[in-house]
Amino acid sequence: MAAQVRDEDSDDGMDEFMEKFKTHKYKNAFSESNWEEEFDKVPMFMKSAPVEIDPVKHPDLACLQSIIHDDDRPPEEQAKSLKDEGNEYFKEKNYQKAIVSYTAGLKKNADDSELNAILYTNRAAAHFYLGNMRSALNDATAAQKLKPGHIKAIIRGAQCCMELRNYADALQWCDEGLRVQPTDKKLQELRATADKQKRAAERDARKAKAKEKKQQNERGVLLAAIKERGIKLLKPERSQHRDSDSEDEDRESMTELSLDGLCSQEATGAQVYLDEQGTLHWPVLFLYPEHRQTDFISAFCENSSFIDHLAVMFGEELPPWDTDRKYQPPNLQVFFEDHEKGDLYEEDLDSTLLHVLQRPG
């Protein structure tokens, strides 16, 4: 499984390496008889470095030495070495270090467009597995420009667009690749998936648009019903001290007002609504300052009186916080607070909610 994934995600020599790895056993493993000798050839474990470094006997040391004098080599050779280094990190799934190596290779500004296309493609693969889809897509695009028809870059670009849910662009990538290789199964599968997801996304978008339009119509009807009843809505940001023209402005913009101030959607999901009979139902909060308690009615019918609800709330079973048993319907008084002046006004218990809402304060 791992070999198959690597075979698809690396470029230039890595395919051949993985195919060979699947069919040939590793022959250079240390044995019990020579492990000390072999360890002494590894730079990290050497007891002492040789005076003269033979690339045949000490290839790792020769490699380190070449890195020290790297600037003496042509940019193409340096870039190729960094590409190979990145490939090794990629095989180890160390994608971050692979990106560093590929980036360093690109900074060498080699004149070999084929090599640079491979560096971009491989870096795109590393970004892809780190979840950096935008960066991966940018690299795939750069590789495609350097090497038009580069199938691995095209496949990576299509995969990135799929992850970004940009199905239209994914289809364009797939179509471009299929013009180069019409029988490529990976591209055929990606295209079929992209087309299916694109159709589903368009269908969901149409549903969402229809739902939004319906909700807007419902809100318009609701606001019109509130306006017809002479109930004045105040925007939360409005100052309490307004000029004489403010009421006219309220009436003119009534249909544009938000209902956010008329609901407790975040807390309970309740909000003012108009039923099929054309009756308004409001969320209403009762405060009991004496005991720091509250009651919440999610759908208080505009035609119901306060006593209708209080008789139920304080009926046979009184609340546990009323230890003195004082909160009985005959003893209760209801007040509402004027929004602008802050004054409290007592309301008759037989009054309906609509009657209170229509009052100026």
CA atoms of 312 and 304, how far apart (whole Å): 13
pLDDT at 208: 93
Stretch 39-54: mean pLDDT, rounded? Answer: 65
Phi, psi of 266 (to 5 degrees): -65, -35
pTM of the shown model:
0.52
Predicted confidence (pLDDT) at residue 71 exceeds the cutoff of 70: no
pLDDT at 250: 46
Predicted confidence (pLDDT) at residue 26 exceeds the cutoff of 60: no
Report domain extents, the chain: 2-30+69-147, 261-357
Of 83-92, 227-236, 268-277, 295-304, minimum mean pLDDT range = 227-236
- What class does CATH assign to 2-30+69-147? mainly alpha
pLDDT band at 355 (very low <50, low <70, confident <90, very high): very high
Strand partners, 284: 297
Alpha-carbon torsion 86, 90, 94, 98, what sign? positive
What would the two tokens of residue 268 be? 């309970």
Percent of the chain with pLDDT over 90: 48
Of 39-43, 124-128, 327-331, minimum mean pLDDT range = 39-43
CA atoms of 108 and 96, how far apart (whole Å): 19
Strand partners, 263: 271
Cite the beta strand spans of the chain per DSSP E.
263-264, 270-271, 273-274, 280-288, 293-301, 334-337, 344-347
CA atoms of 194 and 278, how far apart (whole Å): 46
